[in-house]
Amino acid sequence: MTGIENLGDVRGKRVLVRSDLNVPLDGTTITDDGRIRASVPTIKALADAGARVVVTAHLGRPKGEPEDRYSLAPVAARLGELLGAPVAFAADTVGSSAQAVVAGLADGQVALLENVRFNAGETSKDDAERGAFADELASLADAFVSDGFGVVHRKQASVYDVAQRLPHAMGTLVAAEIDVLKRLTETPERPYAVVLGGSKVSDKLGVIDNLLGKADKLLIGGGMVFTFLKAQGHEVGKSLLEEDQIPVCLDYLARAAETGVEIILPTDIVVADAFGDEASARVVAASEIPAEALGLDIGPESGKAFAAALADAKTVFWNGPMGVFEQAAFAEGTRAVAEALTTTDGLSVVGGGDSAAAVRTLGFDEAAFGHISTGGGASLEYLEGKTLPGIDVLGG
């Protein structure tokens, strides 16, 4: 596995960089530019070294053909602002516009290609179709740098196949992410606490299964907690529930007891009779959720208990909000966890996705956390022990 320094002298070379620029948009307005900012160091390092940098990325989930709402044009403008230099934008990915834009680059200049997922070959399950598209991408460059951590768990043309066709290296962002994940899985300083939230237990099955043998404490909140509460025999009202996962939750609780892993569940819940901005929130005991109520956050006592449980941790990994943090009435559980991570005397890792969005939405200083991942799905799959194709193809 090599870093960009191992590409040698890149002056005058066309370097294709796979970044993760999949940012939320309100129309054409970027509402969270965290992933763009995270992509800048690698792009700038290559440009400063005289490379002709060709950035490729996706946005949203188009169906293999162009859709205006998923255009990367607003991202090109913001990337240029962050780099302090214009970013040329190609109106397609491998067509006449891309070829002309790349041909027009001078040493040290940067271009962004249109959404790579506007091409069916990018996500095709057919190796030949995906490979043919990768050939077109590779023809635009002399070397490839993988720096989109949020997609390294995908076997896609711009992530996996291009690396087989060009001299390749790992970008600084991906290298930093992998370094942190190795610390979480191979040499965690103890006590090691894992906080899991989000909507579904089924999304986190592999992580819980793998970390039951590694973590000292497992704190569970978010929508997934209600399946655990139901497994304990409690009423959960109209809260999110995965009935088919109740036996799995019971098994996890039993295994934790056998192995000495402390599973911490909330003791109080913020509920409402309906979901929405006008919802009337109230706090009830986790064991006494009314049949007509909908659980939307962990309660204030649980927030304090979670923070106390994290106080002595030397390593903390957090993935998934504790409640519907986008609404003020249901944001305090997530805020309590985030606040606790900022005071951790050790490595605190925010596992990307909604957790990273929550940190920024709730106004926290990102520098107060040890590491904020740009890829929730990739982080989870790594912690499950899965092989990440985009890393494996780089030789690491």
Does 282 belong to an annotated binding site? no
* Nearest CA-CA partner of 266 in 248, 246, 288: 288
Annotated active-site residue 351? The verdict is no
Q: Is omega for the bond preceding 41 within 30 degrees of 0, making it cis? A: no
Does 20 belong to an annotated binding site? yes
148, 353, 375, 390: which is the annotated catalytic residue?
353
> How far apart are the C-alpha atoms of 31 and 29, rounded to whole Å?
6
> How far apart are the C-alpha atoms of 369 and 180, rounded to whole Å?
13
Total Cβ atoms within 10 A of residue 125: 7
Does 371 belong to an annotated binding site? no
Joined tokens for residue 151: 């997609």
> How far apart are the C-alpha atoms of 259 and 319, rounded to whole Å?
23
Does 35 belong to an annotated binding site? yes
**C-alpha dihedral sign at 331, 334, 340, 343:** negative
Does 211 belong to an annotated binding site? no
What are the distances in angstroms from CA 396 to CA 12, 159, 169, 267? 28, 14, 11, 43
Annotated active-site residue 130? The verdict is no
Sequential DSSP letters for 316-336: EEEES-SS-TTSGGG-HHHHH
Does 360 belong to an annotated binding site? no
Does 345 belong to an annotated binding site? no
200, 214, 282, 314: which is the annotated catalytic residue?
200
Does 255 belong to an annotated binding site? no
Annotated active-site residue 18? The verdict is no
Does 312 belong to an annotated binding site? no
Helix (H, G, I), strand (E, B) or coil at 88: strand
Does 265 belong to an annotated binding site? no
Annotated active-site residue 182? The verdict is no
What are the distances in angstroms from CA 327 to CA 24, 76, 279? 17, 30, 10
13, 14, 18, 35: which is the annotated catalytic residue?
35
Does 58 belong to an annotated binding site? yes
Does 352 belong to an annotated binding site? yes
Total Cβ atoms within 10 A of residue 110: 23
303, 351, 377, 390: which is the annotated catalytic residue?
377
Does 117 belong to an annotated binding site? yes
* Nearest CA-CA partner of 171 in 85, 50, 84, 53: 53
Does 165 belong to an annotated binding site? no
- Which residues are known binding-site members for ATP? 204, 295, 326, 352-355
- Which residues are known binding-site members? 20-22, 35, 58-61, 117, 154, 204, 295, 326, 352-355
Active site residues: 35, 200, 353, 377
- Which residues are known binding-site members for (2R)-3-phosphoglycerate? 35, 117, 154
- Which residues are known binding-site members for substrate? 20-22, 35, 58-61, 117, 154
